[in-house]
Structure 1
């Protein structure tokens, strides 16, 4: 019965991926007026052609259509990937100091030239996937160039880890926040998680001993600094690793569980692999106990200061939960993880997926009502989490033994 449910889920995800996600982005995100992709499309699918264009949105579009072109053998998706690469190279790339800018206006003029390491990492991630699609050497060379800039400027030789952000010329900044809602600390779990993700992908196409050492060090930073004894992640630190706050982000917990497992597969260390697998399962267990609401939806956060829950259901933790729980099932073969992920999917299918207008709603409240003031396409609203979850789940279910 479990295999039947997973196979049914596999089919549903294939349809959602094609008809609800990729078709939507192909139809609504292309900017035929100013080039590249539109900076914002609202919940009712109205296009804001003069919205600023963020690096994260564009890098994630490049990643999404690159993997879509590879997995689905689609010339149309390759054209969109080519479009994304050309735009990023022309407008986001810093020809003087290297790296990529954080934000442009709708005409492609930089409005924030800072070097946010989170954005540099996502560019490496996207370029690595685009290289898998095209095999173009200059794409790989550019990814390696950004990696070396990150190691030169962001890696902390004294305390290890990566400093959050820099100025245009890689000078230090007083405000290193990723977004206005984030605390202003020099080291964050979120940025380290996506450096880990980027380095994993880069190592797969560029076997390099130094990069492997850096990825190993990142894995150990997670085991020693970010993952607490209760299986939750610590989010914000000073440069010398003094923790600030105890907010729990359930989406990041479960995303980390599977990304860390993927990363350690690239390292020839069986002891470290086993250690990470145990941690990934521990995270998944805590996630099931606390992070999934009565209705199957993934809760956004719990404040560490007062223990108050934010019961809003954002789109991306639902997607990450599918993969993180499937990862735990692959490790343990315990059907409770499949049961949990099917409940999450049932919630996402019912409340997050916009079956009428396409894509997924940014968030729904605890009563299941979507917030239609939130955009469908935007600086942070991208096709990466939900499309990636579909690809990951479809491929992982293929390997489930009958």
Structure 2
């Protein structure tokens, strides 16, 4: 609640990795601009904690929704027609995770996080990208197979993916200029 209280409901226990990644890479960008490095430290910690909790170590990618009390499977999508499940992979969540991980690696020089970014990027390219129509699928089953084949929709517009890829390309370009290193896979 706004007063600092706790809401003991499904929504009150929900962890939304996509929104956490998105807001934390914004915090990383702004903390430096306004000179508040303590915010950067919190954002870095939050990104890593979220990544460790939300990555799917069995099939790859980032899980759609989690709970803080182990009741992940109780998640209910507000859009009954779409009916997303907690363990599915959703386009925008992956895009925001890519931005957060690469921004983290850029700020810290952490090689392990760089490897995690690369692993997620290659996973997204293999599973989300439709080579025929050159766009990402909206939703994948947990195992990485497409569940919702649509490339656009009421919420899937040209925003998260282009912004994520642009953000990542800016960081990668800076990295190549600074180090002279180039990785053809990414």
Tell whether the structures are fold-level matches, with TM greater than 0.5. yes
Q: Which runs of 5+ in 2 are unaligned?
A: 74-85, 180-186
Q: Could you say which residue in structure 2 is the equivalent of 1:330?
A: 106
Q: Could you say which residue in structure 1 is the equivalent of 2:71?
A: 307
Matched, 1:260 2:41: no
Matched, 1:395 2:170: yes
What CA deviation, in whole Å up to 9, does each residue of 1:339-387 have, x standing for no partner? Answer: 1111111111111111112311111011222123x63222211111110
Deviation at 1:304? 3.5
Give the count of matched residue pairs.
Answer: 160
- TM-score by length of structure 2 reads 0.78
Q: Could you say which residue in structure 2 is the equivalent of 1:362?
A: 138
What CA deviation, in whole Å up to 9, does each residue of 1:251-289 have, x standing for no partner? Answer: 12211211112233442xx3x2x1111112102221332
Written as runs of structure 1 = structure 2, the 5 A alignment for 1:110-125 is none
Q: Distance between the aligned counterparts of 1:243 and 1:332, measured in 2?
A: 34
Matched, 1:249 2:25: no
Q: 1:376 aligns with which of 151, 168, 178?
A: 151
- What SS does structure 2 have at the residue aligned with 1:389? helix
Deviation at 1:321? 1.1
Q: Could you say which residue in structure 1 is the equivalent of 2:78?
A: none
Q: Could you say which residue in structure 2 is the equivalent of 1:283?
A: 46
Written as runs of structure 1 = structure 2, the 5 A alignment for 1:154-193 is none
Q: Distance between the aligned counterparts of 2:28 and 2:62, measured in 1?
A: 21
Contact 2:54–2:66 (CA under 8 A) maintained in structure 1: no
Contact 1:296–1:347 (CA under 8 A) maintained in structure 2: yes
Give the 3 Å change call, closer, same or farther, for CA 357–365 of structure 1 in structure 2.
Answer: same
- What SS does structure 1 have at the residue aligned with 2:151? coil
Contact 1:296–1:346 (CA under 8 A) maintained in structure 2: no
Q: Could you say which residue in structure 2 is the equivalent of 1:175?
A: none
Q: Distance between the aligned counterparts of 1:332 and 1:265, measured in 2?
A: 13
What CA deviation, in whole Å up to 9, does each residue of 1:213-255 have, x standing for no partner? Answer: xxxxxxxxxxxxxxxxxxxxxxxx3x54434312111112211
Q: Distance between the aligned counterparts of 2:140 and 2:102, measured in 1?
A: 24
- What SS does structure 1 have at the residue aligned with 2:147? coil
Q: Distance between the aligned counterparts of 1:382 and 1:243, measured in 2?
A: 34
Deviation at 1:305? 4.9
- TM-score by length of structure 1 reads 0.38
Deviation at 1:328? 1.1
Q: Distance between the aligned counterparts of 1:351 and 1:276, measured in 2?
A: 34
Contact 1:277–1:331 (CA under 8 A) maintained in structure 2: no
- What SS does structure 1 have at the residue aligned with 2:121? helix
- What SS does structure 1 have at the residue aligned with 2:142? coil
